[in-house]
Chain A
Amino acid sequence: MTMISRMAFLVLALAAVPAAAEQSGKDVYGKVCATCHASGLAGAPRYGNAGDWAPRVAGGVARLYQSALNGTPKGMPAKGGNLALSDAEAKGAVDFMLAAVKDAARPAAAQAEPKKAEARKDEARKADTAKDEPKAAPVPAAVATTSAATTEVAAAAPADVNSFNRLLKPVSKRNLPPPEDGIHDPSSDGTHALQPPLTAFGPLPKSNAGNRINWVEALNQKKLNPRYDRLDPKAEPVVMDLNIVREVKGSMPDVVYPHKQHTEWLDCSNCHPAIFIPQKGANSISMAAILMGEKCGVCHGKVAFPVSECRNCHSKKKELAVRPAAAEPAK
Chain B
Amino acid sequence: MKRLLSLMRGLATGVVLALCTVLFVDIPDAQAEYGDVVINNYSDAAGMRPAVFPHWFHRMRFRCKVCHADLGFKMKAGGNEINMVKIIDGQFCGACHNGDIAWSVENCNLCHSGKPGTQTQVHESTIHKLAQPAGTPKK
Contacts and interface: CB of A to CB of B under 8 A. Distances in A.
A127 to B, nearest CB: 16
A293 B65 contact: no
Contact of A211 (B27, B56, B63, B65): B56
Given A54-B23, A178-B113, A197-B56, A183 B62 contact: no
B5 interface: no
B115 A183 contact: yes
Interface stretch (A108-116, A244-252, A276-284): A108-116
Give the residue among A109, A112, A299 with the most B Cβ atoms within 10 A: A112
Nearest to B30: A182
A51 interface: yes
Assign chain B's interface to a size class. Answer: 35 or more
Given A167-B134, A226-B60, A270-B68, A298 B75 contact: yes
Nearest to A299: B75
Contacts of B83: none
A215 to B, nearest CB: 7
Nearest to A186: B115
Contacts of B137: none
Contacts of B126: 291, 293, 297, 301-302, 306-307
A237 B49 CA distance: 36
A194 B34 contact: no
Contacts of A201: 56
A265 B49 CA distance: 31
Contacts of B95: 230
A111 B20 CA distance: 11
Nearest to B61: A226
Given A112-B17, A302-B125, A184 B59 contact: no
A200 B38 CA distance: 21
Assign chain A's interface to a size class. Answer: 35 or more
B30 A185 contact: no
Interface in B20-59: 20, 23-24, 27-36, 38, 49, 52, 54-57, 59
Interface string A102-143: 000000110111000000000000000000000000000000
Given A109-B20, A184-B52, A303-B34, A230 B61 contact: no
A226 B63 contact: yes
Contacts of B23: 51, 54, 109
A228 B125 contact: no
A232 to B, nearest CB: 10
A55 B31 CA distance: 15
A302 B92 CA distance: 20
B57 A270 contact: no
A185 B35 contact: no
A182 B65 contact: no
Interface string A225-242: 011111100000100000
A35 to B, nearest CB: 23
A297 B115 CA distance: 27
Contacts of A184: 32, 52, 113-115
Given A54-B24, A183-B36, A269 B69 contact: yes
A321 interface: no
B91 interface: no
A89 to B, nearest CB: 31
B55 A303 contact: yes
Give the residue among A184, A264, A265 with the most B Cβ atoms within 10 A: A184
Nearest to A174: B31
Contacts of B68: 266-267, 270
A131 B64 CA distance: 39
B127 interface: yes
Contacts of B109: 188-191, 193
Given A185-B49, A188-B49, A191-B109, 18 more contacts: A108-B19, A111-B13, A178-B32, A182-B29, A182-B31, A183-B114, A185-B113, A190-B112, A197-B54, A211-B35, A215-B59, A226-B61, A227-B62, A230-B70, A231-B101, A292-B127, A303-B35, A303-B122
Interface of B: 13, 16-17, 19-20, 23-24, 27-36, 38, 49, 52, 54-57, 59-66, 68-71, 75, 95-96, 101, 107-116, 118, 122-123, 125-127, 129-130, 133-135
11 contacts: A109-B16, A111-B16, A113-B20, A185-B114, A190-B108, A190-B110, A200-B60, A227-B63, A228-B65, A237-B65, A265-B64
